[in-house]
Structure 1
Amino acid sequence: MNSSKRLKSAICSDMTSASLDSPLSERFSPEYGRYLVASHDVAAGDLLLVDGPAATLAFRRGILCDYCLSMLGDSGFACSGGCGILFCSAQCEEAAAETFHTLDGECDVLRLADSNSTHSSTCGETHKASMPDVPDRFLIRVLAMLAVEASLENVQLSEGETLAACTTAEDGTQKRKTEQTVNDSTNVSLRHALEELDAHEPSHDDPQQSWLLALAHQLHQRTQPIGHRLSEPQVRRLLCALRCNSHTLYASEEEEEAGGVGLYLRASRMNHSCRPNAEFYNVASALHVRAVVDIPAGAEVTVSYVALADDLLTRRRALQAQFNFWCRCEWCTQQEAEAKTEAEAE
């Protein structure tokens, strides 16, 4: 397979169907946006989705491969550009170079970031404005992928095919349906997919607004080699979208420390509930979603965005801080009513 074909495949594969008879269907409402329902009756334990990542990032640099997130062991392939990124094999190094890690793109930006002691590459430990749940580096990774995608849009592929053949039509002919199978959305570029993600940007009176503006401004300046196509407001929105739609990844079931973060375009369509009927976990860089209870056909499939063991107020505050909503799911409403009844009885 030549380089152009590999590049096209890498960009399109994360949005390609793994199965035509998906147990999940997508629906849309003005109130809730996009959400997923069961296409047919589902039994507890059934596998609902295996979603490949649109983007990943290893938190534990030097321990995990920065492409596939597997353990490096005693060996690793260091990036020749000197940015500090390691890969588990020459194949992963080549794949990264073709999809996001170019020497004059992400590699250059990371070298500059690492040389500036006022910025942290590990979740913002020295960068007071950084978001603790998604590091600055993940935004850099996604911007690098967008830059590679943009550079390929006009590249001619074999047999006269162009990359535009695997992207959404620019004239808007491909419109959202009120219901479609999850895996029908194969003809969407990464750029268009990111634009459709919910961002949950804080309002002007939100305390997070000021530091978000400062962080977006700094990142916009730092990522000019790869982010020059985006305005500062677009960078700010992308930062919020990544924060709200990213999943923490673990190197194995035994590992308690987070190994990385991933963006999953299909899984991001699942809404939150404090009494979810499904749960997700990763196997390497793939995100698996399983039903935890029986789910009837047509019922919404939900997962929890926060730790279910936390109390009502802790859950709500966590959801408000990261996702900008105050949870009023059935379980939260019930717990709130019970607490009110107990308070009145005292």
Structure 2
Amino acid sequence: MKKADRGKLDVLNLNLVLCFIKARTSEELGRYLIAARDLAPGDLVLTERPLVFGPKATVVPEATMPCVGCYRPVPTDVGERCAKCGWPVCSGNCPGLTDPRHHGAECVILSARPECVLDNMPDYYRHDALLPLRCALLQSTAPELWTKLSEMQSHMECRSPGTDAYDEANEFIVEYLMNNFINKLDEETKKKYLPEMSAEHLHVFCGIIDTNALEIRLLEGTELLALYTNTCIMEHSCIPNTKHTFSHVTKDRNDFFKITVKVVVPVLKGNHITTMYSHALWGTQARRQHLKDTKYFACRCERCADPTELGTYISAMKCLGDGDSICDGIHLPEDPLDDETDWACNKCSVKVNGSQVLMLISQMAEEIEAVEMMGGTIQMWEDLLCRLSMFLHPNHYHLFSIKHSLLQLYGRQAGYTSDEILNRKIKMCKDLIDITKKLDPGNARLSLYMAVLQHELHSALVMIVKKANGEGKPLDDLKPLISEAKTAINGALDSLKDDMEEIAGKKLFAVINENKKDFDKYCKKKKINV
């Protein structure tokens, strides 16, 4: 996805806004995009249809699997099956079953193993193998797209036999497709649909997918992976200046999953157009390792190069002193672009080895995951917050995660609605909103987080207003809080304006919008003008 898509840029297919952006090439970055003029938030960068797409395996495949025609979740053990190949479908009349962009072409290949089973179905029906198969089928269904696919970067030089990426792809994708389907095809069928096909080809497709694919969440909850010929040349940055969305409901079926990329923060002429291929709420160590493992490049963006991560200190550790004296300083990496760097205190001479920091952070991540698995009560989260706060800066991303869980529980459970708790919740919301704005000022990656934080801030403020007014405090004295609550909920809805086609964004918007209606009714009833 970075490091050089060497293929020629198909300008006719790339729907760039005329004179807005230009494609460039460098030895370090390969192809990338720059602004041809000053760009403002909302300006369109590009739109394009997917080259090919396919479903990911569901989170709990024992319960539901995606229909191979439309990707709607269907019951795993009692759902209908495709009459030809036996794979789970929503209905035998699903239009996608005969559409070559969906199941139409692959069904011929999957029919080489016509048996249906009810045991060990997640391994028998491997939906994560369908996208590599669909890539292979482009050579017969859409030769012009096959050519574009062949030009995409696979990073096979980093995926040789013996590497985790190669061995995993070999076991779960390549051998699965070759042994169960492709090797069972008669020569006529293979020549017609897969004239160029071998295990090596499938490994290349797996590399292309791992390097370039974008994730699409459907309204029903299913996730797809899709490849875009031109979007993939966009440069990564941990402070992205664009946001991408996908079309789910269209008049033209060919426009399903079309991507739209828009600017979210001002971009000056000549500056690079960037997106993000990692998680904005991970620390620098975690982000850079993820990018090296999956995209095969070492990020050197402004955030990664800054030990404080844009002044958020989201990876910072507390200094515990040298054993003889206590220190209230903080540990930061001396050189965050060096994986082996020491972490130095900003107030004393104590240093900590980077590998020790990584081990400690990994252990803490496991503790957080364990609490999540157990349901995460307020008491459990508070105990964990207290324990980890002994070692981490208050803004650390592990503490961010814990606080984000806590503030959604405060004010909603019996025994946790006092003014003290609500004021604690308000402070947490404001602290996390401040961090989120610094890390993602354009809501490119953290819009759902921001919406939740602003909504929870609104809820706490309204609860305080209602309690205070019920105890006799005049509403005129509470107008600043009411005004702040209105600003917060409007901000929450605004944060979701580009997330309405995804199930999480749509559901969250509905909840927040209902609360806004309740707030407006309250203000009208109390004759509050804000």
Q: What's the TM-score, normalizing by structure 2?
A: 0.45
Alpha carbons 2:69, 2:94 under 8 Å: kept: no
Cα shift at 1:215: 4.9
In 2, the alpha carbon distance for the partners of 1:116 and 1:97 equals 29
Alpha carbons 1:250, 1:258 under 8 Å: kept: yes
Alpha carbons 1:87, 1:93 under 8 Å: kept: no
In 2, the alpha carbon distance for the partners of 1:292 and 1:110 equals 48
CA change 1:42–1:206 in 2 (3 A) is same
In 2, the alpha carbon distance for the partners of 1:78 and 1:93 equals 11
Cα shift at 1:107: 4.1
Task: Identify which of 211, 215, 219 aligns with 1:244.
Answer: 211
Task: Identify which of 331, 335, 346 aligns with 2:303.
Answer: 331
* Match status 1:101 vs 2:104: yes
Alpha carbons 2:83, 2:92 under 8 Å: kept: no
* Match status 1:57 vs 2:54: yes
- Structure 1 unaligned residues grouped into runs of 5+: 1-14, 124-134, 151-188
Cα shift at 1:80: 4.0
What's 2:45 paired with? 48
- Look up the SS of the partner of 2:88 in the other structure: coil
1:22-48, CA deviations, whole angstroms, 9 ceiling, x for partnerless residues? 633322223222222223321012232
Task: Between the two structures, name the one with larger relative contact order (CA 8 Å, sep ≥ 6).
Answer: 1
Task: Identify which of 133, 149, 167 aligns with 1:194.
Answer: 149
- Look up the SS of the partner of 1:290 in the other structure: strand
Q: Which has the higher helix share?
A: 2
- Look up the SS of the partner of 1:21 in the other structure: coil
Alpha carbons 1:106, 1:141 under 8 Å: kept: no
What's 1:282 paired with? 246
* Match status 1:119 vs 2:123: yes
For 2:198, the aligned partner's letter is S
In 2, the alpha carbon distance for the partners of 1:47 and 1:114 equals 48
In 2, the alpha carbon distance for the partners of 1:88 and 1:25 equals 46
- Look up the SS of the partner of 2:307 in the other structure: helix
Alpha carbons 2:106, 2:137 under 8 Å: kept: no
CA change 1:239–1:29 in 2 (3 A) is same
What's 2:344 paired with? 343
- Look up the SS of the partner of 2:334 in the other structure: helix
For 2:295, the aligned partner's letter is F
In 2, the alpha carbon distance for the partners of 1:295 and 1:88 equals 49
What's 2:399 paired with? none
Larger displacement relative to structure 2 (29-38 or 114-123): 114-123
* Match status 1:293 vs 2:265: yes
What is the percent sequence identity of the aligned residues? 19
Decide which structure has the larger Cα Rg and report it. Answer: 2
CA RMSD of aligned residues (A): 3.9
- Look up the SS of the partner of 1:236 in the other structure: helix
Task: Identify which of 27, 39, 51 aligns with 1:30.
Answer: 27
Alpha carbons 1:113, 1:119 under 8 Å: kept: no
In 2, the alpha carbon distance for the partners of 1:25 and 1:114 equals 52
In 1, the alpha carbon distance for the partners of 2:108 and 2:345 equals 61
Alpha carbons 1:101, 1:107 under 8 Å: kept: no
CA change 1:217–1:115 in 2 (3 A) is farther
In 1, the alpha carbon distance for the partners of 2:105 and 2:215 equals 25
* Match status 1:270 vs 2:250: no
Cα shift at 1:232: 2.4
CA change 1:26–1:103 in 2 (3 A) is closer
What's 2:225 paired with? 261
In 2, the alpha carbon distance for the partners of 1:63 and 1:279 equals 29
- Which stretches of structure 1, 4 residues or more, deviate above 6 A after TM superposition? 61-65, 87-90, 112-116
What's 2:142 paired with? 149
For 1:298, the aligned partner's letter is G
Cα shift at 1:98: 7.2
In 2, the alpha carbon distance for the partners of 1:241 and 1:311 equals 26
In 1, the alpha carbon distance for the partners of 2:91 and 2:258 equals 18
- Look up the SS of the partner of 1:197 in the other structure: coil
What's 1:3 paired with? none
In 1, the alpha carbon distance for the partners of 2:32 and 2:245 equals 19
Larger displacement relative to structure 2 (259-268 or 219-228): 219-228
Q: What's the TM-score, normalizing by structure 1?
A: 0.66
- Look up the SS of the partner of 2:306 in the other structure: helix
In 1, the alpha carbon distance for the partners of 2:116 and 2:300 equals 41
